Amino acid sequence: MKSLAEYLELAGQAHGHLCAGQVLGVRLAMLGLRELGIDDPIAERKRLVTYVEIDRCVTDAVTLVANCRLGKRALKFRDWGKVAATFVDLKTGRAVRIAAKESSKQTAREMFPELEKEAGQQKAYAVLDDDVLFAKQWVKVEVQPEDLPGFKGPRAVCAACGEGINFKREVVIDGRTLCRSCAGECYYQPSS
Ligand SMILES: [Zn+2]
Ligand SMILES: [Zn+2]
């Protein structure tokens, strides 16, 4: 694993700025990897699947350190609005969920009262103990075969729109194979 300083440098570049979220996310992911005994997430990239629970600054740092990308299917998003991530070790079946403690923000703010809020938080997140910042829980995650990186399965075609569907995301309603959009889960409406 790289050092905190090295990861912060990389995280700042990838994310576009260094912020408190980057520091917290780097720390969160480093803790998760350390718990799983994964020392080199780049060399062992096929070993790890990461579930993130928020789409905010912190997530960019978590995925950078864990080396988990959406396009590699090693990153899963659960839109729960929580600063937390679960790291699943496919080799051992072990999984650990690391969540930022609700008190961590306040603790960080109080640590360097002389500094401006964001700067103080950045500095505090870099030095506070893991157990001040995070709650850790060993969990079990059943990653379905079709959710794993490298899954190969038959493609379906939606009976309504004709678009192809991968990874068993089709649904069958009254004997018709449909994509989720045509089955009623659509997030968009035609605009004309
Ligand atoms: Zn940011
Ligand atoms: Zn469809």
| pLDDT higher than 90, residue 36 | yes
Q: Which ligand lies nearest to the CA atom of residue 118 in the structure? A: 1
* Average pLDDT score over residue span 166-183: 97
Give residue 59 CA to ligand 2 midpoint distance, Å.
31
- Amino acid 109: pLDDT: 87
The Cα angle at residue 166 between residues 165 and 167, in degrees rounded to 5: 135
Using CA atoms, how far residue 13 sits from 19, 46, 83, 90, 158, in Å, is: 11, 24, 21, 29, 41
Does position 86 have pLDDT exceeding 90, yes or no?
yes
Distance from the CA of 163 to the center of ligand 2, in angstroms? Answer: 6
- Local confidence band at 192 (pLDDT 50, 70, 90 cut-offs): confident
Could you tell me the two tokens for 96? 């650990």
Per-residue model confidence (pLDDT) at position 191: 94
Percent of residues, the chain, with pLDDT higher than 70: 100
Binned at pLDDT 50, 70 and 90, residue 64 comes out as: very high
Asked if 94 contacts 110 with a C-beta cutoff of 8 angstroms, the reply is no
Please tell me the distance from the alpha carbon of residue 171 to that of residue 175, in angstroms, as a whole number: 9
Q: How far is ligand 2, taken at its centre, from the CA of residue 160, in Å?
A: 5
- Nearest ligand to the CA atom of 18: 1
The pLDDT score that the predictor gives to residue 4 is: 97
Q: How far apart (Å, rounded) are the C-alpha atoms in residues 12 and 28?
A: 16
Give the ligand with the smallest distance to the CA of 169: 2
Residues with Cβ within 8 Å of residue 188, at least 6 apart in sequence: none
- Quick one: pLDDT at residue 89? 98
DSSP H or E stretch at residue 24: helix 20-36
User: What is the model's pTM?
Assistant: 0.94
- What's the mean pLDDT when you consider all of the chain? 96
Residue 172: pLDDT over 90: yes
